[in-house]
């Protein structure tokens, strides 16, 4: 084993404090650089290279891009390695492409992505039916495990879903009755 000199912790602490102090005008800046406000103290073993973790040689070889890959507009290009198992497609893909035209710091980026996820679920069910597979949402959504390990929460969620569904159905039925009544009054009035 190589014998390395033990880093001087006071020099590191002074450097960290100066980093934290130099940007105090930015709200929240350096909150993790102040050793007196370190949530990992005294568990963390400082090794002298904690502030060098971002200075590394990036892989030179880029993963082959053979499908459409969406990436943030804050980045000049795609990362060296990325997931390519499900490229954007269909309506959800169109919504995702739209979302990636906006900065990650805006609702215009995140809300469409959440919507695209929900639409992707429906597209997945339709794709299953198209291939002759009958979806089993009870198993696919983990409800069996929920029933086994969190029965009280499962019952609560089922009760809430039942009340919400019944409320929506009641509103639809009432709306139809009101429309029929309004049509009837208009018919007799003429």
Q: Same domain, yes or no, for 25 and 40?
A: yes
Domain contains 1? no
Q: How many domains does the chain have?
A: 3
Pair 122, 183 in one domain: no
Over residues 104-159, the pLDDT tens digits come to 989 999 999 999 999 999 999 999 999 999 988 878 888 888 889 999 999 999 99
pLDDT above 70 covers what percent of the chain?
72
Rounded CA separation 128/122 (Å): 10
Whether residue 101 sits in one domain with residue 73: yes
Question: Are the C-beta atoms of residues 93 and 62 closer than 8 Å to each other?
Answer: no
What pLDDT does 1 receive?
A: 46
Using the 8-state DSSP alphabet, how is residue 101 labeled? T
Indicate yes or no: pTM above 0.85. no
Do residue 128 and residue 150 come from a single domain?
no
Q: Cα torsion for 159, 165, 171, 177, to the nearest 10°? A: -110
Domain that holds residue 148: 137-189
């Amino acid at each position: 084993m190589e014998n390395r000199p033990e880093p001087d912790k006071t020099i590191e602490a002074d450097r960290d404090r100066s980093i934290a102090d130099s940007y105090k005008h930015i709200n929240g800046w350096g909150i993790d650089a102040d050793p007196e406000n370190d949530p990992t103290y005294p568990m963390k073993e400082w090794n002298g290279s904690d502030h060098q973790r971002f200075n590394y040689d990036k892989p030179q070889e880029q993963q082959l891009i053979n499908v459409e890959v969406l990436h943030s507009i804050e980045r000049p290009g795609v990362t060296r390695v990325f997931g390519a198992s499900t490229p954007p497609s269909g309506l959800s893909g169109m919504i995702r492409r739209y979302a990636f035209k906006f900065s990650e710091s805006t609702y215009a980026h995140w809300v469409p992505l959440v919507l695209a996820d929900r639409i992707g679920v429906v597209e997945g069910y339709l794709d299953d039916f198209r291939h002759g597979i009958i979806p089993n949402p009870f198993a696919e959504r983990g409800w069996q495990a929920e029933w086994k390990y969190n029965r009280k929460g499962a019952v609560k969620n089922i009760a809430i879903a039942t009340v919400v569904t019944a409320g929506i159905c009641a509103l639809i039925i009432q709306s139809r009755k009101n429309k029929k009544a309004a049509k009837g009054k208009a018919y007799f009035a003429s």
